[in-house]
Structures are given as structure tokens and as C-alpha cells.
Amino acid sequence: MARELMMPKLSDSTADAVILRWLKSPGDAFSRGEALIEVETDKATVVYEAESDGTLGSILVPEGGTASIGEPIATLANGDGASPAPAASERPNASPVARRTAVELGVSLHGIVGTGAAGRITREDVERAAAGSSSTAPAPKPASGGKGDVDVVELTATQATIARRMVESATTIPSFTVSADVDMSLITELRRQAREERDDVPSVNDFVVKAAAGTLKEFPRFNASYADGKIECYSRVNVGVAVATDDALLVPVVLEADTKTLAEIAADTRRLAEAARSRTLAPEGLRDGTFTVSNLGMLGISAFTAIIDPPQVAILAVGGTRRAPVEDENGGFVFRDLVTVTLSCDHRVVYGADGARFLSRLRELLERPLTLTL
């Protein structure tokens, strides 16, 4: 009997994913490590590679279809070249843009007549199918009212999954927040001096990630997950760094950040952020996060509160650097570079005093940055 190919787990938070493109056709043989499918998860668009040699039998989930983790998406032939899929499961002749548009609009490519060269399905063909062809009445638009015409925008698979997870977080985690102002003046000066000699200077956020990793080693209760009434504390400190893309918020992970130098963290975050924005991040770049840092300072935000990404138990929100007067030891005032950091915590795992001590230690490390550069 033919074996089945299951939808793989591509990130910690993915419950289901959309198959954007089959890279093999029924009857095709493939080797271990060869690309099989292009998949969209809540985190990124990734390519899944075969874990062993085999031959694709029939496709059970076509392009544009959604499958849950562990659900069969295809059968695997026994290696004798048997049983290619029926015509209905063959991969439609469509352009990459058309495939992406079909996923975004929720339209199956099967049954669409292509008007491109050699009958290839184009983006315009998909859009016509979504709006309704000449033989099908267009979908009714919501009636206009006092608010004017209504333009309904459907969520992409990524946006829908993020929405579901944020509702889960907001409704199931009893969270609290603590905030503190951190004097970043020494870091500002260190970065200014470094920029005079080199271009690849660690960002403010790289310093924060380094400091957070060190603090997590001292406060392991924050480097944990809450699941099924139990707390799981981890030996490795893997810090997720939130990255905004055009239509989603992705969280690539700096693995074992507590063991890396500041320069290594800076190199990792640059590489991961670029891959996240181009949606080329490999699945392993999104896995195994134990804590998250979210920074909106570059957008001019002074302070904000971030939502915990379950099953993690805390997330650190970092605002922008601002010049502010601070009283000195002589009773006068000097201007310093301050940043507001806000820690959101799961009250089932840690308490207010724990959060306060965590931020106090984080502030100490950031205000004595030479220890972070050694």
C-alpha cells in the first residue's frame, strides 16, 4: 500500500498551513533534501524538503488548499512508479503570481481556463474567477450606508492565523505589565564611536537582546512555557525578535543568545530580519523561541505593551530613544538618552515582584554596556 506524506510542523505556533505550490508532480521521484512543496504558515512562506527518498503518488491537498499539521497531503508510491494522481489532482498550469493571488483570494486553480501562453493561468484569470466570470453573477457587495461604500478585504492565511493566536493569548493568559526607563546614553556613545570606524555596528535592539538573554539565565522562570497546567523551564535561551513585514508580524529566533557575543547576535538578527521580510526564512529560523523582544522605537513609538506569544510566558516591548532631563547627584539636571521597556508577563508563572526584579537586572546590564561587549 502507498504511504502518506503528512503536513509537517514548520513553526512552533502553526496549527495549519496553506500549500502554495507543489514542486513535484504525481509519479515524480525525489531524493532526501529535495524541495517538495512551498507552504505558507502564520510565520512565513517556506519550502519543505523531503526527509527521505520516495516517489509522489497522488496529491490529496491541491495548491491553495489548507491542511492541519499531521494531516495527509499526498500519497507516496512504493517506489515502483505506480499510481500517478488522477487528472483532477494534477498541478494547474499557472504563473507564480497567479498561484499567490489564488491563495490570497481563496480561489481554487482547478477549473480556471488560462488565457496566457499555452493556456497558462494568469493573475487576471484568477481575479476574474474570484469576482465571477461572465457566466456567473458577481458576488454581491455590501450595501452602502452612512459610512459610504464598503470594501471587504479578506484575511490572508497568515493574517488569519495570527488573528487566531492573538485572540488565544488575550483570552487565555492572565497577563500583567511592568515598565521601566533605561538610561541608554552609554550605548548611544559606544555606537557613535563605533560608526566612525565601521558600518556593521550593533543596533540598540541587539544590545537589548544580549541583555535580555543574560537576564533570562538569571531568571529562568521567564525562559519558560505554560502548557496543560505545567511550567516548562528551558536550558537554552532562544530569543525571538519580532519583525514587521508588509502583511504580517514574524518572529525569527536567535538561538542560544546567551552564549553568543554581541557581534554574533547582531549578525544573526540582520540575517534573520532580511530573510523574514523577503519571506525566505527557513522553518528552523522560526522554531524553539523561549522569549520574545519587540521593538517599535524605529517608528517613533515611545512606549507600548506587547501581547504574549503563547506558550511563552513573557515578552519585552522596547520603545524609542528620547532625550530627557534627569536629576544628577548634585541636584542639577542633565539630558540623557532614555528608553522605556515594558515587560508583559503570564501571571500563572511569574508575579509582579518577579517582573520588577527582571527589569531591574535588565536595566543594570544596559546601563553598563561594556559587560555586554566582552
Lowest-confidence segment of 11-15, 111-115, 346-350 by average pLDDT? 11-15
- Phi (first) and psi of residue 208, to 5 degrees: -65, -45
User: Where is the domain boundary, 77, 103, 131?
Assistant: 131
Residue with the larger pLDDT of the pair 112 and 78: 112
Residues 59 and 175 in one domain: no
Report residue 285's pLDDT band, with 50, 70 and 90 as the boundaries.
confident
The DSSP secondary structure of 8-70, one letter per residue, reads: PP-STT-SEEEEEEESS-TT-EE-TT-EEEEEE-SS-EEEEEPSS-EEEEEESS-TT-EEETT
Q: Average pLDDT of 286-304? A: 93
Please, what is the average pLDDT of the chain? Answer: 85
d(CA 37, CA 362): 42
Predicted confidence (pLDDT) per residue in 185-216, tens digit: 999 999 999 998 888 899 999 999 999 999 99
In a domain, 137, yes or no: no
Supply the pLDDT for residue 286.
Answer: 84
How many residues belong to the chain? Answer: 374
Residues 81 and 187 in one domain: no
Which one, of 243, 241, 242, 246, lies nearest residue 100 by Cα? Answer: 246
Indicate if the pLDDT at residue 256 is higher than 70. Answer: yes
Q: Average pLDDT of 101-115? A: 77
Which one, of 306, 161, 159, 154, lies nearest residue 247 by Cα? Answer: 159
Cell of 260: 553568543
- Phi (first) and psi of residue 149, to 5 degrees: -65, 150
Indicate if the pLDDT at residue 342 is higher than 70. Answer: yes
Which one, of 279, 267, 107, 126, lies nearest residue 199 by Cα? Answer: 267
Supply the pLDDT for residue 89.
Answer: 44
Supply the pLDDT for residue 11.
Answer: 66
Residues 246 and 353 in one domain: yes
Residues 261 and 197 in one domain: yes
Amino acid at 147: K
Query: CB count, 10 Å around CB of 354?
Result: 18
Could you say which DSSP state residue 229 is in?
Answer: T
Report residue 85's pLDDT band, with 50, 70 and 90 as the boundaries.
low
Residues 221 and 344 in one domain: yes
d(CA 129, CA 92): 15
Integer angstrom CA distances of residue 353 from 46, 177, 360: 41, 11, 10
In a domain, 145, yes or no: no
In a domain, 163, yes or no: no
Cell of 203: 543596533
Predicted confidence (pLDDT) per residue in 119-160, tens digit: 778 888 888 888 774 344 445 566 667 888 888 877 766 677
In a domain, 267, yes or no: yes
Q: How many domains does the chain have?
A: 2
Supply the pLDDT for residue 207.
Answer: 97
Whichever domain contains 343, its CATH number is 3.30.559.10
H or E, element range at 213: helix 204-218
User: Where is the domain boundary, 111, 131, 151?
Assistant: 131
Predicted confidence (pLDDT) per residue in 363-372, tens digit: 999 999 999 9
Whole-model pTM: value is 0.70
In a domain, 59, yes or no: yes
User: Where is the domain boundary, 104, 131, 158?
Assistant: 131
73 touches 5 (CB < 8 A): yes
32 touches 51 (CB < 8 A): yes
Cell 531568571, residue located: 219
- Phi (first) and psi of residue 227, to 5 degrees: -150, 135
Integer angstrom CA distances of residue 51 from 9, 259, 362: 13, 30, 42
Residues 231 and 346 in one domain: yes
Domain extent for 14 = 3-131
Residues 307 and 220 in one domain: yes
- Phi (first) and psi of residue 111, to 5 degrees: 95, -10
Q: What percent of the chain stands above pLDDT 70?
A: 87
In a domain, 147, yes or no: no
Q: Interhelix angle for 204-218 vs 185-195, to 10°?
A: 130
Residues 236 and 294 in one domain: yes
Whichever domain contains 65, its CATH number is 2.40.50.100
In a domain, 26, yes or no: yes
Report residue 260's pLDDT band, with 50, 70 and 90 as the boundaries.
very high
Cell of 2: 502507498
Residues 186 and 81 in one domain: no
Residues 244 and 122 in one domain: no
Predicted confidence (pLDDT) per residue in 4-51, tens digit: 888 887 766 666 778 888 988 888 999 888 889 988 776 667 778 888
316 touches 358 (CB < 8 A): no
Residues 115 and 191 in one domain: no
In a domain, 144, yes or no: no
